[in-house]
């Protein structure tokens, strides 16, 4: 019976396997076909996308070149002048010939078929045709638009009304003043035949293709219009139109605004692959397409071979399986009988034990399949017995612990058994910790595993709790050590947060302090992975909603607050969403106090729910109290230190005062003995200070004067009053101020100042003598003197002053009388100066215009200064001089300077016109060179890419050389254009943060400036006042040079610095490169001047010339210093104003 059952069942699985094998081979064949098709299509996608982008670039370049040529003509002063001359007299052949001669090279070089001048009234003046020119409706419309806007316009493709020829052109305005762009005198229309220059550019296909084609299109109402001649249909230019709503037509998709790759049917109804693009700044679209049949031709032959190969494999495999089945039938039958016997014996052996054990018991085989379970397992995991037998050991392991199954099995096989801990998962998805005792059992050479499993979840939770408490103990201990070592609040907070996170394994910890003005909690310190949580937090303690959370409540109420479940605690509602995003589930806040005043809190966050238990809260509260104690200690220490520093500073200031005071300073005790004296007493009394201190004046110099001084001092201490005395000692005069110092409202000490007034007495005498001398000198030098009383304003003046005013020297004068001679603003100035001199003691020196008593206008110079008596201004005194002749000479010099400046301005204007013409010429030449260079480079690359296999090594090397040199020439032209533009660019000077500019340049040039071998050091740079874009170019050029010429070093070291110096700022960039000889310094900043070969360092020789031109334009200087093989320093200066 068993034999019959076996024979009936064996063929079905094998038939299924064979069927799956056939399906697999078929799938592989289909998959290979799909991969091949995908590969071919991918290559075609890339190729056609590249061709489409190339055509877009070529057409865009063609448009820019035409507009650039028109811009050049529009801005040409010479062309404007020639046009004005011709239109003012069209019959003048000389004017016409000059105009045609100027523009003819442009026509011939760029294949314009006609050029026409059109006046605002519509009259036309063809430049290369003798017949009157007919303007089509399209020509008239674009011409009117240019007249209205004053802008250059490129016409669209259109057919001439009379001939039907397809033309495209460009129309530009000609202004009466090409620089100011006003008053359009005419327009210039330049026509082109697109069949000669544009359509060949579009129609060429860069690779060999039978069906490849490029279409130029535009919208025409509800249709799409084909602009160029087609490859597969002739005579279609501006004639072929197709509906724009066709969903499978690439041309229609282009008109609908679609861009990119598209598969559809072209105008012939052929299935094609296309790439659609928009031509920038134009109404045109471009479609590059190729027939799909051409793309997939290589795939057909490959597919036939794949089918033949798959058929052979299936046939051979089927024959092999048939032979194998016949040989295995008997052996499989025998193995099945043995297996049934083993299972029956094993089942009987364990049945009793499994069903009655309290622990979970699982029996599994060598393939991890579960063979038997007991009742405890059914209860623990939640599966039925039938469900268990469909599971394996892997299914009851948690996802994280499954990677250890094979490792544990190997150990059990080696050792015969193993006890280990892991995690299992119940049917409801709950993960729990278990301890597994697994033993290997071998029955008739078969391996079985008896697994006795115990749920240890409670044990693990207890261990975790103990571990957490130990961590908090560690935090408390380490923070206490930090408190002992740290004497700074910020360091204490920072270190405490770090210890809490690293030792306590909180997610993050932060300390918040209350701002007394705003009542907001400010983050003072934080540590850990808060993922930006602290940056967005906003907590106030003034009763708002944000103050009700743990942190706000802890600060407001001065006690700790715990949130063990952020998801359900309403106090955390304002921050719940941000917290849960970061997997924060519990938090705690503990107040920090200084002398019973809460100043902030320390806050802890955990990713575990119910993290904070009573023991942990108690320890963290103790931690917060220790921190509060430390803050109180730091506060006291700060106050003590500040007091000591203030006292020390006061003592130092006082000692310096006593050491260098020009006034004699003294302090005496109640016994009139000196206790502190200024250093100058040594010179006055001729003895060292140490011998004077502790003694009275009578002990030092016994005399009646000394006794009198002691009596005065005693009276001061008795009455507590200040006195001032004048004294003479050893031929010198002194004024002394003495006053008592009160302690507890009683005079305890005597202090005073003694001022040596000997020099003042002598100066008063010298002043009297000097006034007499000045009076005599004034007569000789024709300079008069005057003075007036600051109270009565009555004054006197010398005979010379009266003579200048043309009044009688004996007449009385005062301030009002003297001011009355001045006219207009001069009177306002003298009255303001006199007021400042009287009120604030400010001297003055003025040149003013006056009218004398006899009506003569004169220029005079008056100098005034205050005269003091003590600290009071009693007079204003000065000199007076007639400077009329000097003013007349100055006026003559001023007129000569104005005439000279006028001549310089005229010459400068002429030079500017010449420079602009030269710059326009340079721009035109550089612009014309670009087109052939692009053609050389483009076609060289096409030959290299498409015919690489057909070229020998020498030809490829020559083409690479051509490409490299055209690129170098293109860079040189770009540098020339940049150099040329500098002359036209207006400066826009603004304050520039040079440090910010340097960092921005380093970020933008990241590809060039990265690498371990590059070390850039930046000093603090002064702010510059300059044109931002130009100075940025200077920094980029100098920095690029420094990197380039230090690239031969193992490590490039570049230093950037600057300093403010007088009325300019100086900046420099220093490198450790190859350097140069200083004898070539004069050539360094010239155009095309290079000190190194191209093979050593690449470059065009224009970069430093641009730097010099920019700095000179700013009014600065540029220079360099260098030592060969040691490095160079490039300097430039910028004036502050």
Q: What pLDDT digit, counting tens, does each position of 260-317 carry? A: 999 999 988 899 989 999 999 889 999 999 888 888 777 777 777 777 777 777 777 7
Comparing 655 with 172, which gets the higher pLDDT? 172
* Pair 490, 400 in one domain: no
Q: Does 6 score more than 50 pLDDT?
A: no
Q: Which residues of 1106-1127 are buried (b: 16+ CB within 10 A; e: fewer)?
A: bbbbbbebbebebebebeeeeb
Q: What pLDDT digit, counting tens, does each position of 852-897 carry? A: 988 899 999 999 999 998 888 999 999 888 888 888 888 888 888 7
Question: Mean pLDDT of all residues in the chain?
Answer: 82
Cα 321 from Cα 317, distance rounded (Å): 6
Residue ending a domain, among 882, 916, 932, is 882
* Pair 545, 605 in one domain: yes
Cα 204 from Cα 214, distance rounded (Å): 8
Q: Is residue 752 part of a domain?
A: yes
- Rounded mean pLDDT, 224-229: 88
Domain carrying residue 1081: 985-1135
Cα 533 from Cα 566, distance rounded (Å): 14
Going from the C-alpha of 979 to that of each of 504, 958, 974, 1104, 1115, the distances in angstroms are 65, 31, 9, 10, 17
Q: How many CA atoms lie within 13 A of 590 on its CB side?
A: 19
Determine how many CB atoms are found less than 10 A away from the CB of residue 344: 10
The β-bridge relationship of strands 857-869 and 844-851 is antiparallel
CATH of the domain at 570: 3.30.450.40
Place of tokens 């004169």: 858
* Pair 622, 545 in one domain: yes
Going from the C-alpha of 513 to that of each of 486, 519, 554, 562, 628, the distances in angstroms are 19, 10, 12, 19, 13
Q: What secondary structure letter does DSSP report for 987?
A: P
Cα 1033 from Cα 925, distance rounded (Å): 24
Cα 539 from Cα 547, distance rounded (Å): 6
Q: Coil, helix or strand for 734?
A: strand
Cα 98 from Cα 671, distance rounded (Å): 114
Q: Does 1066 score more than 90 pLDDT?
A: yes
CA angle 436–439–442, rounded 5-degree value: 150
What was the pLDDT predicted at 1050? 81
* Pair 1000, 1115 in one domain: yes
What was the pLDDT predicted at 4? 42
- Find the helix packing angle between 77-88 and 93-109, rounded to 10°: 140
What was the pLDDT predicted at 172? 93
Going from the C-alpha of 688 to that of each of 358, 620, 678, 706, the distances in angstroms are 105, 65, 11, 19
Place of tokens 């250890």: 404
Residue 595: which pLDDT band, with cuts at 50, 70 and 90? confident
What was the pLDDT predicted at 1132? 93
Q: Which range, of 105-119, 253-267, 959-973, averages the lowest pLDDT?
A: 959-973
- Rounded mean pLDDT, 143-157: 89
> Which residue pairs from 543-548 have beta carbons closer than 8 angstroms and sit at least 24 positions apart in sequence?
545/574, 546/574
Q: Does 554 score more than 60 pLDDT?
A: yes
- Rounded mean pLDDT, 198-221: 85
Place of tokens 């109804």: 269
Going from the C-alpha of 958 to that of each of 17, 267, 952, 954, 1093, the distances in angstroms are 62, 43, 10, 6, 21
* Pair 495, 637 in one domain: yes
Q: Does 10 score more than 60 pLDDT?
A: no
Sign of the dihedral defined by the CA atoms of residues 750, 751, 753, 754, in that order: positive
Rounded percentage of the chain residues whose pLDDT exceeds 90? 15
Q: Which range, of 106-115, 174-183, 331-340, 925-934, averages the lowest pLDDT?
A: 925-934
Cα 472 from Cα 500, distance rounded (Å): 8
Q: Does 106 score more than 50 pLDDT?
A: yes
- Using alpha carbons, select from 59, 44, 105, 51 the residue that is nearest to residue 200: 59
- Using alpha carbons, select from 1116, 944, 943, 930 the residue that is nearest to residue 1031: 1116
How many angstroms separate the first and last alpha carbons of the chain?
A: 113
Q: Does 577 score more than 50 pLDDT?
A: yes
Q: Is residue 1097 part of a domain?
A: yes
* Pair 110, 161 in one domain: yes
Q: Is residue 834 part of a domain?
A: yes
Q: What pLDDT digit, counting tens, does each position of 444-490 carry? A: 778 889 899 988 887 777 767 766 666 766 676 767 776 666 667 88
Q: Which range, of 76-85, 324-333, 380-389, averages the lowest pLDDT?
A: 324-333
Residue ending a domain, among 713, 741, 756, is 756
What was the pLDDT predicted at 1? 38
Dihedral pair phi/psi, residue 1115, rounded to 5°: 85, 15
User: Token pair of 181, please?
Assistant: 């762009």
* Pair 1013, 1100 in one domain: yes
Q: Is residue 120 part of a domain?
A: yes
Q: Does 974 score more than 50 pLDDT?
A: yes
CA angle 755–759–761, rounded 5-degree value: 95
The three-state DSSP-derived secondary structure of 536-552 is HCCCECCCCHHHCCHHH
Going from the C-alpha of 682 to that of each of 411, 482, 694, 730, the distances in angstroms are 98, 54, 15, 15
* Pair 834, 773 in one domain: yes
Q: Does 339 score more than 70 pLDDT?
A: no
Cα 511 from Cα 493, distance rounded (Å): 7
CATH of the domain at 164: 3.30.450.20
Determine how many CB atoms are found less than 10 A away from the CB of residue 693: 13
* Pair 378, 508 in one domain: no
Q: Is residue 22 part of a domain?
A: no
Residue 976: which pLDDT band, with cuts at 50, 70 and 90? low
Cα 439 from Cα 363, distance rounded (Å): 10
- Rounded mean pLDDT, 653-670: 85
Residue 1007: which pLDDT band, with cuts at 50, 70 and 90? low
Q: Does 926 score more than 60 pLDDT?
A: no
Q: Is residue 70 part of a domain?
A: no
Q: Does 566 score more than 90 pLDDT?
A: no
User: Token pair of 507, please?
Assistant: 């997610």
What was the pLDDT predicted at 117? 92
Cα 509 from Cα 504, distance rounded (Å): 10
What was the pLDDT predicted at 942? 73
Cα 361 from Cα 371, distance rounded (Å): 11
Q: Is residue 346 part of a domain?
A: no
Q: Are 530 and 565 contacting, i.e. CB atoms less than 8 angstroms apart?
A: no
Q: Which range, of 8-17, 163-172, 672-681, 705-714, averages the lowest pLDDT?
A: 8-17
* Pair 599, 509 in one domain: yes
Q: Is residue 1028 part of a domain?
A: yes
* Pair 629, 696 in one domain: no
Cα 154 from Cα 279, distance rounded (Å): 14
Q: Which range, of 254-268, 502-516, 910-924, 1121-1135, averages the lowest pLDDT?
A: 910-924
- CA 103 to chain CA centroid, Å, is 48
* Total domains in the fold of the chain: 6
Residue ending a domain, among 756, 775, 802, is 756
Cα 808 from Cα 136, distance rounded (Å): 95
Dihedral pair phi/psi, residue 540, rounded to 5°: -120, 160
What secondary structure does DSSP assign to 354-395, as a single string?
HHH-SSEEEEEETTSBEEEE-HHHHHHH---HHHHTT-BGGG
Helices (H), ranges, 76-154: 77-88, 93-109, 137-149
What secondary structure does DSSP assign to 873-893, as a single string?
EEEEEEEEEE-HHHHHHHHHH
Residue 343: which pLDDT band, with cuts at 50, 70 and 90? low
* Pair 1000, 1131 in one domain: yes
Q: Does 2 score more than 50 pLDDT?
A: no
């Amino acid at each position: 019976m068993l034999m019959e059952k076996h024979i009936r069942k064996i063929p079905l699985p094998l038939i299924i396997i064979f069927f799956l094998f056939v399906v697999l081979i078929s799938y592989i064949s289909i998959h290979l076909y799909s991969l091949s098709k995908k590969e071919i299509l991918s290559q075609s996608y890339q190729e056609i996308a590249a061709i489409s982008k190339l055509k877009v670039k070529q057409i865009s370049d063609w448009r820019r070149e035409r507009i650039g040529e028109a811009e050049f003509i529009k801005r040409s002063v010479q062309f404007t002048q020639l046009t004005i001359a011709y239109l003012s007299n069209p019959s003048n052949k000389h004017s016409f010939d000059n105009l045609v001669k100027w523009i003819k090279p442009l026509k011939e070089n760029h294949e314009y078929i006609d050029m026409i001048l059109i006046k605002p009234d519509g009259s036309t003046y063809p430049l290369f045709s003798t017949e009157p020119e007919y303007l089509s409706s399209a020509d008239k419309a674009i011409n009117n638009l240019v007249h209205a806007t004053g802008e250059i316009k490129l016409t669209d493709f259109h057919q001439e009304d009379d001939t039907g020829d397809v033309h495209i052109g460009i129309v530009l305005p000609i202004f009466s003043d090409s620089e100011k762009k006003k008053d359009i005198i005419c327009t210039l229309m330049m026509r082109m035949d697109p069949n000669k220059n544009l359509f060949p550019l579009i129609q060429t296909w860069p690779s060999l293709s039978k069906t490849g084609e490029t279409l130029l299109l535009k919208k025409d109402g509800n249709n799409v219009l084909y602009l160029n001649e087609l490859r597969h249909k002739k005579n279609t230019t501006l004639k072929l139109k197709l509906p724009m709503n066709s969903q499978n037509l690439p041309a229609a998709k282009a008109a609908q605004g679609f861009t990119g790759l598209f598969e559809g049917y072209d105008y012939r109804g052929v299935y094609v692959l296309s790439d659609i693009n928009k031509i920038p700044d134009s109404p045109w679209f471009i479609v590059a397409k190729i027939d799909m049949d051409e793309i997939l031709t290589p795939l057909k032959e490959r597919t036939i071979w794949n089918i033949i190969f798959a058929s052979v494999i299936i046939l051979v495999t089927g024959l092999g399986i048939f032979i194998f089945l016949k040989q295995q039938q008997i052996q499989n039958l025998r193995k099945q009988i043995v297996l049934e016997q083993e299972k029956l014996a094993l089942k009987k052996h364990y049945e009793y034990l499994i069903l009655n054990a309290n622990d979970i018991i699982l029996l599994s085989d060598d393939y991890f399949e579960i063979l038997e379970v007991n009742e405890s397992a059914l209860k623990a995991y939640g599966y039925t017995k039938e469900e268990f037998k469909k599971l394996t050991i892997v299914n009851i392991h948690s996802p994280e612990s499954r990677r250890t199954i094979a490792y544990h099995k190997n150990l059990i096989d080696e050792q015969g058994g193993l006890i280990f801990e892991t995690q299992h998962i119940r049917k409801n998805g709950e993960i729990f910790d278990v301890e597994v005792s697994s033993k290997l059992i071998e029955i008739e050479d078969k391996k079985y595993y008896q697994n006795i499993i115990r749920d240890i979840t409670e044990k693990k939770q207890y261990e975790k709790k103990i571990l957490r408490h130990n961590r908090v103990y560690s935090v408390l201990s380490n923070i206490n050590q930090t408190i002992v070592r740290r004497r700074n609040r910020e360091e204490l907070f920072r270190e405490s947060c770090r210890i809490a996170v690293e030792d306590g394994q909180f997610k993050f910890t932060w300390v918040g302090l209350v701002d007394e003005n705003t009542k907001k909690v400010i983050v003072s310190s934080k540590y850990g992975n808060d993922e930006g949580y602290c940056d967005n937090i906003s907590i106030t303690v003034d009763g708002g909603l944000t103050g009700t959370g743990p942190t706000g409540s802890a600060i407001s109420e001065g006690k700790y607050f715990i949130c063990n479940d952020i998801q359900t605690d309403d106090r955390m509602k304002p921050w719940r969403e941000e917290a849960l995003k970061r997997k924060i589930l519990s938090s705690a806040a503990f107040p920090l106090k200084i002398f019973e005043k809460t100043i902030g809190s320390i806050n802890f966050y955990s990713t575990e729910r119910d993290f904070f238990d009573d023991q942990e809260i108690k320890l963290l509260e103790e931690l917060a109290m220790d921190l509060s104690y430390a803050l109180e200690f730091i506060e006291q220490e700060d106050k003590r230190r500040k007091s000591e520093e203030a006292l020390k500073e006061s003592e130092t200031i006082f000692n310096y005062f006593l050491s260098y005071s020009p006034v004699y300073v003294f302090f005496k005790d109640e016994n009139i003995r000196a206790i502190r004296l200024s250093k100058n007493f040594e010179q006055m009394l001729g003895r060292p200070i140490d011998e004077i201190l502790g003694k009275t004046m009578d002990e030092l110099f016994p005399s009646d004067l000394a006794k009198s001084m002691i009596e005065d001092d005693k009276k001061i201490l008795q009455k507590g009053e200040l006195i001032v005395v004048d004294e003479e000692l050893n031929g010198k005069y002194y004024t002394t101020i003495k006053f008592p110092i009160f302690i507890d409202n009683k005079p305890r000490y005597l202090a005073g100042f003694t001022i040596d007034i000997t020099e003042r007495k002598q100066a008063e005498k010298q002043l009297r003598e000097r006034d007499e001398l000045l009076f005599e000198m004034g007569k000789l030098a024709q300079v008069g003197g005057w003075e007036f009383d600051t109270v009565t304003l009555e004054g006197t003046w010398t005979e010379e002053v009266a003579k200048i005013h043309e009044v009688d020297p004996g007449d009385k004068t005062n301030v009002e009388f003297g001011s009355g001679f001045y006219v207009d603003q001069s009177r306002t100035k003298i009255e303001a100066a006199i007021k400042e001199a009287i009120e604030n003691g400010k001297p003055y020196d003025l040149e003013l215009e006056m009218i004398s008593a006899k009506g003569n206008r004169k220029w005079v110079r008056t100098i005034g200064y205050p005269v003091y008596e003590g600290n009071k201004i009693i007079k204003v005194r000065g000199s007076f001089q007639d400077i009329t002749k000097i003013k007349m000479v100055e006026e003559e010099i001023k007129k000569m300077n104005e005439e000279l400046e006028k001549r310089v301005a005229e010459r400068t204007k002429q030079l500017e016109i010449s420079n602009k013409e030269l710059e326009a010429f340079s721009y035109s030449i550089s612009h014309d060179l670009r087109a052939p260079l692009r053609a050389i480079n483009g076609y060289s690359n096409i030959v290299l890419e498409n015919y690489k296999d057909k070229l020998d090594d020498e030809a490829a090397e020559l083409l690479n050389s051509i490409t490299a040199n055209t690129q170098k020439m293109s860079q040189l032209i770009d540098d020339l254009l940049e150099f040329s533009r500098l002359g036209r660019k207006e400066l826009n000077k603004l304050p520039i943060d040079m440090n910010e500019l340097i960092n921005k340049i380093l970020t933008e040039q990241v590809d060039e400036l990265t690498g371990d071998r590059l070390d850039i050091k930046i000093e603090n740079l002064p702010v510059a006042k300059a044109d931002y874009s130009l100075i940025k170019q200077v920094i980029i050029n100098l920095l690029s040079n420094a990197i380039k010429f230090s690239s031969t070093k193992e490590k490039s070291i570049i230093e950037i610095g600057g300093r403010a110096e007088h009325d300019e700022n100086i900046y420099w960039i220093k490198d450790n490169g190859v350097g140069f000889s200083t004898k070539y310094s004069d050539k360094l900043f010239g155009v095309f001047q290079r000190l190194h070969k191209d093979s050593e360092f690449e470059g065009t020789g224009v970069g430093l010339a641009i730097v010099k031109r920019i700095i000179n334009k700013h009014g600065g200087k540029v220079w360099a210093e260098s030592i060969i093989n040691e490095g160079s320093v490039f300097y430039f200066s910028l004036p502050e104003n």
